[in-house]
């Protein structure tokens, strides 16, 4: 019996070590002054972080990345939530089409996508190639699969059509039913999709580099540029953006928790409790 319980623990610990060692090594390297042929660094410094924070390019690129991720993911939620809702409830025949559409970004390699987009948007009515707007557009497409799967699955599990019909017969308009019943119930699905999309975009390099390159330096492009300068500095960058993602995930989780409670509280207020 003891053996049976020990085995999963060993696996779990091994996995954790495997996942944490690179991170730990990066952290150590970012605070090491010199680290040549010893197990642990010979001397320590926070100088690399100081250098990093003193560099206005770093903070600027971090802000840009945050900003563009928020914009792209936000846009994706705003567009995809009603779209998926309408397809699931009113146009189930289009579901197959939507399925194929959202899977294309999965299948198309980044380079192919980027070259095609540059060609399409470098001239004509929407000449946005080289600006941050093309990146927003591309990122919107890139996170489609994650948004779609997460939201659609939670809509399926809550029997969306039955709930909407029940709400309508109780006197709610379609919009009201969507806002009061559907949105709160698919919130966990949205939360997972948003987190996933956000961390994927935060670490995205290929599309950003090809589409906007030096004109709009994101954190990944900044990292790439300084990689050749010093490994210690690059490690510090990696640790920083890992922390940013960690904090952001925490904030998003807390925020959606609050939102979830608020919608219940709102209905309570509405019902006079």
Which class for 87: exposed (0-12), middle (13-18), buried (19 or more C-beta within 10 A)? buried
Q: Nearer Cβ to other proteins, position 230 or 264?
A: 264
Inter-residue contact 29 to 47 (CB < 8 Å): no
Site for other proteins in 169-198 (CB under 8 A): 169-173, 176, 180-181, 184-185
How far apart are CB 163 and other proteins at their closest, in Å?
A: 6
Which residue bears the tokens 């567009």?
79
Inter-residue contact 33 to 42 (CB < 8 Å): yes
Q: Nearer Cβ to other proteins, position 38 or 273?
A: 273
Nearest Cα residue to 190 out of 84, 66, 94, 103: 84
Distant-in-sequence, close-in-space partners of 103: CB < 8 Å, separation ≥ 6: 145
Inter-residue contact 199 to 249 (CB < 8 Å): yes
How far apart are CB 76 and other proteins at their closest, in Å?
A: 23
102 makes contact with other proteins (CB under 8 A): no
User: Strands 43-44, 32-34: parallel, antiparallel or unpaired by DSSP?
Assistant: antiparallel
Distant-in-sequence, close-in-space partners of 163: CB < 8 Å, separation ≥ 6: 177, 181, 182, 185
93 makes contact with other proteins (CB under 8 A): no
Q: Nearer Cβ to other proteins, position 117 or 181?
A: 181
Q: Nearer Cβ to other proteins, position 185 or 235?
A: 185
Residues touching other proteins, count (CB under 8 A): 27
How far apart are CB 273 and other proteins at their closest, in Å?
A: 6
**Which of 14, 168, 254, 257 forms a contact with other proteins (CB under 8 A)?**
168
Question: Running DSSP on this structure, what letter comes out for residue 44?
Answer: E
Nearest Cα residue to 187 out of 151, 163, 156: 151
Per CB under 8 A, the segment of 88-96, 109-117, 221-229, 261-269 that binds other proteins is 261-269
Site for other proteins in 140-159 (CB under 8 A): 158-159
3-state secondary structure of 173: coil
DSSP one-letter string for 99-122: HHHHHHHHHS-HHHHHHHHHHHHS
Per CB under 8 A, the segment of 10-18, 60-68, 168-176, 208-216 that binds other proteins is 168-176
**Which of 4, 8, 56, 270 forms a contact with other proteins (CB under 8 A)?**
270
162 makes contact with other proteins (CB under 8 A): yes
**Which of 36, 37, 38, 271 forms a contact with other proteins (CB under 8 A)?**
271
User: Footprint of other proteins on this chain (CB under 8 A)?
Assistant: 158-159, 162-163, 165-173, 176, 180-181, 184-185, 260, 263-264, 267-268, 270-273
């Amino acid at each position: 019996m003891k053996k049976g319980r020990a085995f999963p623990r060993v696996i779990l610990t091994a996995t954790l070590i495997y996942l944490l060692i690179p991170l730990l090594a990066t952290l150590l390297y970012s605070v090491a002054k010199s680290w040549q042929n010893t197990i642990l660094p010979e001397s320590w410094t926070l100088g690399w972080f100081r250098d990093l924070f003193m560099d206005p390019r770093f903070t600027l690129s971090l802000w840009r990345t945050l900003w563009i991720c928020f914009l792209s993911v936000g846009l994706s939620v705003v567009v995809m939530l009603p779209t998926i809702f309408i397809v699931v409830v009113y146009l189930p025949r289009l579901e197959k089409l939507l399925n194929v559409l959202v899977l294309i970004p999965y299948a198309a390699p980044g380079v192919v996508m980027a070259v095609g987009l540059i060609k399409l948007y470098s001239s004509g009515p929407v000449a946005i190639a080289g600006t941050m707007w093309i990146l927003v557009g591309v990122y919107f497409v890139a996170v489609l699969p994650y948004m779609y799967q997460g939201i659609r699955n939670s809509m399926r599990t809550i029997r969306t059509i039955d709930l909407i019909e029940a709400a309508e017969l109780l006197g709610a308009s379609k919009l009201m039913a969507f806002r009061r019943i559907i949105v709160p119930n698919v919130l966990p699905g949205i939360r997972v999709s948003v987190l996933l999309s956000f961390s994927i975009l935060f670490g995205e390099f290929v599309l950003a580099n090809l589409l906007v390159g030096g004109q709009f330096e994101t954190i990944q492009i900044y990292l790439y540029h300084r990689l050749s300068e010093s490994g210690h500095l690059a490690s510090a960058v990696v640790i920083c953006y890992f922390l940013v993602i960690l904090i952001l995930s925490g904030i998003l989780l807390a925020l959606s928790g609050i939102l979830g409670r608020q919608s219940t509280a709102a209905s309570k207020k509405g019902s006079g409790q």
